[in-house]
Structure 1
Amino acid sequence: MAEANSIAFCDFDKRETMTSVEVADVFNKVANSYDETWQSRNYSDHIYVAEGVADFFPERRADVRILDVAAGTGLLATQLWKKDFRKTDGLDPSTGMKTEAMKKHVYTNYYLEFMDGHVIDNLDTDSYSCLVVAAAFNTGFLPCVSLLEMVRLVKPGGLICFGVPDSRFTEVKEYINRLAPLMLWMEQDGLWQLLDKKHYDDFYDDANPGNVFRYMVHASDVDVEKYIHRLRNSHLEK
């Protein structure tokens, strides 16, 4: 890795002042060493998320349409493939990560898109039975409002499954007093229902505890502006 990209990849705070396009470019440049880096750090988030999905879909897994958000090089999709899921699409803005991911032959489609809360025009409402995220709730990655677009894309009765290290809720500026409240507001408003959250002590580096959340989706129509307004007010109140 070039030094500047290595710093931005490893030091999350360096990404605070970067645009989304700049963050994607960092991952373009480190894509060919990404898997090796995380294997050396005993990364496990993607394994736990895949287990949560497999538990929800015990049968006919080959027919389940899944969207892997912030798909990267396909580490999570590879775990899903091992569990007999055969219809996984990837979504990630990094061309470099897509190049590496497609070598694994675990994706049906791979969309070069940011999941930043905007409506992704080439993905229809209720397109998927399941949506997954691993290692992407972090500085410079998924903003809080990305959850709203995720709900739009998953049909009612479908599953959204994602992992979040505990520290992200209190250390990532975008999420402090915002991510957890939004997750609760969405449940109170009937957009989704928390099925369970499972705690793990070792998301990576044999440490870094976190939870895998599993939500069943109940709604397709989402008033995004209402939640954006509420998130803005939550900052003003602190």
Structure 2
Amino acid sequence: MSEHPSSPPRPLDQVYAATTETELADAYAAWAAGYDRETAELGYCLPFLITSWLARHVPAGEGPILDAGCGTGLSGPFLKALGYDRLEGLDLSDEMLAIAKSRQAYGTLKQAALGEALPWPDGHFRAVIAAGVFTAGHAPASGLDEMARITHSGGHVMFTVRDRLIAEAGFQDRFDRLEQAGIWRPVEESPPFRAFAVAEPDVFVKTFVFRRA
């Protein structure tokens, strides 16, 4: 009886399977060239939906805005079209950042990892957004501390979190700790919704918006 080779793992599966920052960076480096096309086929919508929350809470023209975990910069052109022309971005992958640069929507792009110290001073940004970054195998809840630090008083921090990680990966505890410390206050919490319009029907996320004290 002949044996049929199993299908190679999808890039998305390799990303989810990463257990270290190096493995995650390698997975995204390998995926960078095909990322936009393949995520479009999956119906990945978070880089586009996060622009709606920004527009709801931050007037057009205000900035600077940080797209944290910007990847290939899918959000950038849409944010720019909405009037946010002072955009900066960070991502773990240099290969993804190279594609983001080609979109000509970001004034500055830096290689950095959420969960580590970020290369901006206190209160630098009017708002920080992060779409699809707080999910399985990705940035830890501790990354929220630095996002809050680099947001100025009265500014907003908004991001999506995989719903099942909110409690089990310490996100709710981190939300509460930052609120109790007087660093931010909650503004909005969405109901769970699908991160992929076509594939991955069991992957749900929630969007959170906090206002910096």
Q: One fold, TM greater than 0.5?
A: yes
The residue aligned with 1:173 is: none
Q: Is contact 1:155-1:217 (8 Å) kept?
A: yes
1:146 paired to 2:143: yes
Structure with the higher fraction of residues in helix conformation: 1
TM-score (ref. length: structure 2): 0.87
Moved over 6 A (4+): none
Q: CA deviation at 1:67?
A: 0.8
1:28 paired to 2:29: yes
Q: CA deviation at 1:205?
A: 3.6
Q: Can you give the 5+ residue segments of structure 2 that lack an aligned partner in the other structure? A: 1-6
C-alpha distance in structure 1 between counterparts of 2:111 and 2:152, whole Å: 22
C-alpha distance in structure 2 between counterparts of 1:79 and 1:66, whole Å: 13
Structure 1, residues 51-109: CA drift from partner, whole Å, max 9, x if none? 01111123xx2341011111100112232122111011010121110111111111000
The residue aligned with 1:80 is: 79
Q: Percent identity?
A: 21
Q: For 2:191, what is the secondary structure of its paired residue? A: strand
Map 1:51-70 → 2, pairs under 5 A: 51-58=52-59, 61-70=60-69
C-alpha distance in structure 1 between counterparts of 2:26 and 2:193, whole Å: 31
C-alpha distance in structure 1 between counterparts of 2:135 and 2:182, whole Å: 26
The residue aligned with 1:182 is: 174
Structure 1, residues 130-154: CA drift from partner, whole Å, max 9, x if none? 0000011123321111110111100
Q: Can you give the 5+ residue segments of structure 1 that lack an aligned partner in the other structure? A: 171-175, 219-238
The residue aligned with 1:127 is: 124
Report the number of matched residues. Answer: 204
Amino acid at match of 2:178: M
Greater Cα offset, 83-92 or 6-15: 6-15
Map 1:210-225 → 2, pairs under 5 A: 210-218=205-213
TM-score (ref. length: structure 1): 0.79
C-alpha distance in structure 2 between counterparts of 1:212 and 1:169, whole Å: 11
Q: Is contact 1:192-1:215 (8 Å) kept?
A: yes
Equivalent in 158, 176, 183 of residue 161 of structure 1: 158
Q: Is contact 2:62-2:126 (8 Å) kept?
A: no
Structure 1, residues 167-192: CA drift from partner, whole Å, max 9, x if none? 3336xxxxx15111111221122111
C-alpha distance in structure 1 between counterparts of 2:136 and 2:196, whole Å: 16
Q: For 1:62, what is the secondary structure of its paired residue? A: coil
Amino acid at match of 2:179: E
Equivalent in 9, 13, 20 of residue 10 of structure 1: 13
C-alpha distance in structure 2 between counterparts of 1:138 and 1:144, whole Å: 10
C-alpha distance in structure 1 between counterparts of 2:170 and 2:185, whole Å: 18
Q: Is contact 2:187-2:209 (8 Å) kept?
A: yes
The residue aligned with 1:103 is: 102
Question: Using a 3 Å threshold, how does the CA distance of structure 1 residues 10 and 82 change in structure 2: closer, same or farther?
Answer: farther
The residue aligned with 1:204 is: 196
